[in-house]
Amino acid sequence: MNRRHHDMGGLAAGPVERAEHAHAPWEKKVDALLRLLLAKRVMTLDELRRGIEEIGPDAYDRLGYFERWITSIGNILLEKGIVTVAELGEAMASVRRAAAAAGRR
């Protein structure tokens, strides 16, 4: 059977790692961002999933849960033309400058 990477039901895997982590503030913001975009009908849950499923097997396994989400959200918003690559690049530079000014690297 040809399965895509996210379609893992029934496959072999190791023991369930039961340790849990409290969500970092930025992870909650990803969650809030998605809820707002769904509520405003800017994107759909199916689009989020498609975006996650298109990340590729390596990145899918390497990225954390909310890292996958924000990667998908960013790609979907670019794809829809709601933000442009240039705008996003500038906004990310601005976030880095503000963090550096606040003493974060």
Partner 1 sequence: MSHPHDDPHPHQPDIEDAPLGYHETLTEALLALLRDKGVFSADELRRTLEEIDSRSPADGARLVARSWIDPAFRERLLHDVNAAARELGIDAGGIPIRAVADTEQVHNVIVCTLCSCYPRLLLGAAPDWYKSRAYRSRVVREPRAVLREFGLELPDEVQVVVHDATAELRYLVLPCRPAGTEGWDEPALAALVTRDCMIGTAMPIVPG
Specify whether the CB–CB gap between 48 and 34 falls below 8 A.
Answer: yes
Q: How far apart are CA 93 and CA 35, in angstroms?
A: 25
Q: What is the per-residue binding string for partner 1 in 23-62, x denoting contact by CB under 8 A?
A: xxxx-xxxxxx-xxx--x-x--xx--x--x--------xx
- Interface with partner 1, residue 105, by CB under 8 A: yes
Helix count and strand count (H, E) for the chain: 5, 0
- Interface with partner 1, residue 85, by CB under 8 A: no
Angle value at C-alpha 55, between 52 and 57, nearest 5 degrees: 110
Shortest distance, position 87 Cβ to partner 1, whole Å: 6
Residues at the interface with partner 1 (CB under 8 A): 6-26, 28-33, 35-37, 40, 42, 45-46, 49, 52, 61-67, 70-71, 73-74, 77, 82-83, 87-88, 91-92, 94-96, 99, 104-105
